[in-house]
Structures are given as structure tokens and as C-alpha cells.
Structure 1
Amino acid sequence: MPRSPSSSAQAARQALADQLREIRSEAGLTAKALAAGAGWDRTKVSHIEHARRSPSAEDIRTWCRVCGVDDQAGDLVALLRTAEGMWVEWRRMERAGLKRAQESVLPLFERTRVFRSYSSWLLPGLLQTEDYTRAVLRAVRRRRGLIDDVEAAIAVRMERKQLLQRPGRTFAFLIEESVLRTGVGGMDVMRDQLVHLAEAASRPSVSLGIVPMRPDREIRPVEDFWIYDGEQVSVELVSGYLTIINPREIAMYGQVFGSLADKAVHGARARRLLQNAVEYLDDEK
């Protein structure tokens, strides 16, 4: 699997490598003997054990067979899948279409009770109108050369928005003011989106903070991220989708979220910025 920018993914790869090395050692085999028994080049074992090369599921089954522990192969393959899932390139995540990609995160959203989201470029999906989502997903489909299942993907996204109405969940959204001024879908789409954003922010379970544009900012993350129950972070990067479960890294994102929340405006001041953005669009017509 490709190396990711997260120590969570690297730690998962290393944990798998350590278990494979332990199995070989307990079987009384040298790396050379294991490679010979598997029919591999002798360097392959060393590369796998030092997490410089990711084994395939078949490699793991072969490893366990040569070491006489076939019964452990299933658990180790599951560990491999977990490590692979922490870093997924967009082309892999979306190869079956945007609808499947939208569906893949539904279980995570369903089990989460406390959501924290920071957005520096686009509005979060849970706050998007149908037309705004359509504009975003159409642009993604064109840019990445995907199959055209945009309308099906929109339906999944709109269904996911129902979470905002379910009891027992809280949502804290932080949005850069520049997001309110960045056109997606045209003037009419953006105006309707801003009105919808104000309505969504009025829900008791929703907290909306807008980080004002100013020249003396000290903290500005380059990526959008979500924090789920303080147990997992999802980050959207240019090349792929990153899942973080390392407590130290999660704490870092939590600290950044808190710092940005301190700089954001809420309530009446946030509504004023929204109204200013709407008036700007009206003036530009």
C-alpha cells in the first residue's frame, strides 16, 4: 500500500509487520528459510518485516502456511485491510462511482454522536443544498473522469442530511468566511445555499462558527477535516482520503479545532456575515 501522510497508517503497517516477524521467529525460521519455503526473493521477507513493502492477502496466507499457523491468516488479513483503509486514494475510493463513495461513509456517520467539522474551501456535505451538492459532484466527476452517477450520489448525500434531525447528536461546524464568498454553481445556487445555511444553523443541535477573513491569522489548516466522537479524524487531501485513529494525532486536530473556534464568530455575528455574503451576491446580479 502507498505510504500515507499519517503516523496512524504507518503504525498499523508496522503492527502487521511486527506480528509477521514474530510468527516467523516462533516458527524457528530465518528470513532466508521463509523466503525459500514461499518461493520468494530473499529480500521480500526483510522488506515486509520492516514495513517497507506491504504484503498482499495472498502473501500473508503463504507466510502463515510456511510457518505452520494457517489459522492466524484470517486475522492478519483483516489487519491488512484495516491498515489499507486508513489511506485511500480518490481513484481507488471512487472507482465504482460517486454513489458508492458516498455510501462508504454512512456507517461512520450513523454511529457518531458528536461531530466537529472544519471547512476551508467547500461547505460541509451535511449543510449543502441539493443544487450545491450537484455542482460540487459534477465538478469532481469531470476532474477525475468518473462514471456519471451524480444524481444517485446526490440522493445518498441528501439522505445523510437527515442526521441533523435525529435526537442525541450534536454538530459543530467551523467555516472560513471565504467559503461564503467562493462561487459554486453560480449566483442563484450560492444565494439559496447561504439562506439554507442560516436555517440549518438555527437548529438546536447545530453550532455554526464562521472564521472571519483578516490579515493577522496565526492558524489556518490547509485541509478540511472531520472529528467523530473524538475517536477518529477524516481528512480530505488532494490525492486521497485519510483516516486517523492515533490518539496523539486526534488530539492535535482537536486543539486546532478549539483554536479556530476561539477565533470564529457565532450567533448574531455569524448571521451578519451570512447576510453580508447574501447582499454581496444580490449586488452582483
Structure 2
Amino acid sequence: MPISPSSSAQAARESVAGQLRAIRKDAGLTVVELARRCDWHHAKTSRIENAKTPPSPTDIRRWCQACRTPERAADLIAASLNAESMYTEWRRRARMGLRQLQDSYVQLFRSTSLFRIYSPTLVPGLLQTEGYSRALLGSNARLLGIPDDAEEAATARVERSKVIHEPGHRFVLVVEEGVLRYQLGGQDTMAAQLGYLLTAGALPSVSLGIIPSSSPQRVLWPQELFHVYDDSLVSVELLSAQVNITQPSEVALYLEAFEQLRSMAVYGADARALILKAIEALH
């Protein structure tokens, strides 16, 4: 079954929209009548009720006031804001700079006991060297058209990654073998990154698995890059946005996918052999 990373966010939006529609109908108001009371065009009412346009907190207050249910506003505002936080464009998240974006994860990292990370194309952030991270974040800044503070952001990313040395955390990371071959930065940068994987992969708290490109039996096709924080939150990284998933059934689907991907990976000496092979290919 294909995983739809934006469905949690859309389901949450539709839930808010459905509640607003029910409030209007319970009040005996038509779409046009509600719009008149709220002093906006009736098309806006339709867009909100069909989850095409997210309502602002002011919209929700006016809606509930028009339907004589002001006591419903606070809960609906909270639900709407939560729905919108599930799907956040990178441009919006990085509007204060990439350094600030790195720092925003620190508290989540410290409160997570078990990290599960799958990456088909990149070295996971927790295992990135500063040079590799700088090359990656600089590319992201140029693509998104945002201020390029990759130097400071890379330093912050390495700083936050020190969590792998702190007690109370475990890290299970699975990457496709192609991750070792996609060169970011110069040859020396990539060689240093691959060398660090040999070191970090040997840490007691880290389990690093690599799915060989020549794996004879794939039980699951490559997926999008995703992180699972304990058993309660999945963060999916798309080209344009980050999707946060908390719906239990979808979290369970990602956990099942992770276990299938993990079962195809090699570990220990076999994983190190693949990394050494990639280092040799650089020369």
C-alpha cells in the first residue's frame, strides 16, 4: 500500500471543516446567510467548508459567533492550528534562516528515546559532518530562494547531533547504498563524511544499516526520507515541505515500512565493507 504523507494533515483539515459545516447547519443558516453575518463572500464559506482554504482564528471566532456558539471557537482554533502545523513549507519554516531551523529540533531530539530514520538519498542529519551538511544546506537555500546561512546552520546541525553521545537515546538508521555514492561537496568532503560513518556506526547507541543496491529480494520499494520519534510522531521530508504525522494508524504504517526496510539492510562488517567500497570509488 502506498504511503500518503500528507493525508494526516488533510484529514485534520477536513475534520475542522466538517465541524464548522455542522455548526452552520445546526444554526439553520445557509452558506449565503453565514457569509452575510461574517461579512465575507459566500465563496469563502464554501472554500472553508470543503477544506480548500484553512480558516484563520478570526474566521473561526466570527463563524461561531454568527452561529451563536462562541464557546466552540477555542477548541476549533486549536484543532485548525494543529492541522496546519502538520504540513509546513520549508520556505515558511526557514524564513528566519536555516540556523534557526536546526535549533528548532533540539528539544524534540532531547525528549526522544528511540530514533528510527530511513533515508534513500542522503546521509541522515544526525550522522552528517559539518562539510557535508554545509554543502547540502547551501544547495537547499539556493533551491528554495531563502537566505543562505549554511555555514552557521551546518555548525548548529553538528552541535544538535551530539545527542547521539548522550545517554538515554537509541538510534536505528537505515539508508540505501546509493546514499554512499551521491557526492555532496568536493571529493574530500565526501571522503570525510564516509569516514565518519565508519566511526559513528560503531557507537553503542547507533545501529546503522545499509540496503545493498544489489539486494536480490526487495520486500519494499524505496520510500521518502522519514524519521520516527519513539512511537508517536513521524516526520516526512518532501521537496517542498515537512509533513508531521501523529495519526496512530499512519504512524503504525510507517513503523511497519521501517521494519521491512530494516530487514533488507546489512550491518556491522558487511555495512563497513560497503562504506569502504564507496571510499575507494572516490579515488
Normalising by structure 1, report the TM-score.
Answer: 0.90
CA contact 1:225–1:235 (8 Å) conserved in 2? yes
Structure 1 equivalent of residue 84 of structure 2: 84
- Matches of 1:49 and 1:144, distance apart in 2: 31
Residues of 2 paired with 1:104 and 1:58: CA distance? 27
Q: Is the 8 A contact 1:125 1:157 kept in 2?
A: yes
- Greater displacement, 200-209 / 57-66: 57-66
Aligned position for 1:267: 268
Q: How far did residue 215 of structure 1 move? A: 6.6
Q: Give the corresponding residue for 2:147.
A: 147
**Is 1:121–1:178's contact at 8 Å kept on the other side of the alignment?**
yes
Quote the Cα distance in structure 2 between the aligned partners of 1:164 and 1:215: 29
Name the structure 1 match of 2:204: 204
Ranges in structure 2 where 5+ consecutive residues have no aligned partner: none
Give 1:168-179 correspondences, 5 Å limit.
Answer: 168-179=168-179
**In 2 relative to 1, CA 135–217 (structure 1 residues): closer, same or farther, beyond 3 Å?**
farther
Cα gap change, 1:160/1:58 in structure 2, threshold over 3 Å: closer, same or farther?
same
Deviation at 1:26? 4.3
State how far apart, in whole Å, the 2-side matches of 1:13 and 1:164 are.
36
Which deviates more from structure 2 when the two are superposed, residues 153-162 or residues 128-137? 153-162
Residues 14-73 of structure 1, C-alpha deviations (whole Å, 9 max, x = no match): 221122233334444343332221122234333322323322222112112222343443
SS of the residue 1:96 aligns to: coil
* In the alignment, structure 1 residue 233 sits paired with structure 2 residue 234: yes
Most deviating of 101-110 and 225-234: 101-110
For each residue in 1:205-235, what CA deviation from the matched residue of structure 2 results, as whole angstroms up to 9, or x when unmatched? Answer: 1101011011745323241111111211111
Note the alpha carbon deviations across 1:243-276, whole angstroms, 9 max, x for none: 1122222222222211111111001111111122
In structure 2, C-alpha distance between the alignment counterparts of 1:41 and 1:141, rounded to whole Å:
38
**Secondary structure in 1 matching 2:66:** helix
- Give the direction of change, closer, same or farther, for the CA distance of 1:73–1:49 in structure 2 (3 Å limit): same
User: Does 2:271 correspond to 1:257?
Assistant: no
Q: Secondary structure at the match of 2:236?
A: strand
Q: Structure 2 CA distance, aligned partners of 1:30 and 1:173?
A: 53
Shift of 1:193: 1.1
Aligned amino acid, residue 236 of structure 1: E
Alignment partner of 2:190: what SS?
Answer: helix
Indicate the residue corresponding to 1:74 in structure 2: 74
Q: Secondary structure at the match of 1:19?
A: helix
In the other structure, the counterpart of 1:45 is 45
Map of 1:57 onto structure 2: 57
- One-letter identity of the residue aligned with 2:273: R
Q: Distance in 2 between matches of 1:33 and 1:139?
A: 50
* Separation (CA, whole Å) in 2 of partners of 1:77 and 1:8: 18
1:230 alignment partner AA = D
Aligned 8 A contact 1:7 1:246 in 2:
no
Cα deviation, 1:79-112, whole Å, max 9, x if unaligned, reads 2211111111222222222122223333322221
SS in 1 for 2:167: coil
- The structure-2 alpha-carbon separation of the partners of 1:143 and 1:53, relative to structure 1 and needing over 3 Å to count, comes to closer
Of residues 189-198 and 90-99 in structure 1, the stretch that sits farther from structure 2 once superposed is 90-99
Cα deviations across residues 159-194 of structure 1 (Å, max 9, x unaligned)?
211211121111000011111122111111111111
Asked whether the equivalents of residues 24 and 30 of structure 1 are also in contact (C-alpha less than 8 Å), the reply is: yes
Whole-Å separation in 1 of the counterparts to 2:145 and 2:156? 20
CA distance 1:111–1:259, change in 2 (3 Å): same
Instruction: State the one-letter code of the partner of 1:19.
Output: Q
Contact 2:233–2:251 (8 Å) recurs in 1: yes
Q: Distance in 2 between matches of 1:233 and 1:14?
A: 20
RMSD: 2.0
Query: Which amino acid is 1:99 matched to?
Result: R
The separation in 2 between residues aligned to 1:43 and 1:98, in whole angstroms, is: 38
Higher mean alpha-carbon deviation, 128-137 vs 154-163, is at: 154-163
Alignment partners' CA distance in 2, 1:70 and 1:244 = 30
Q: Which amino acid aligns with 1:255?
A: E
Task: Give the share of equivalent positions with the same residue, in percent.
Answer: 47
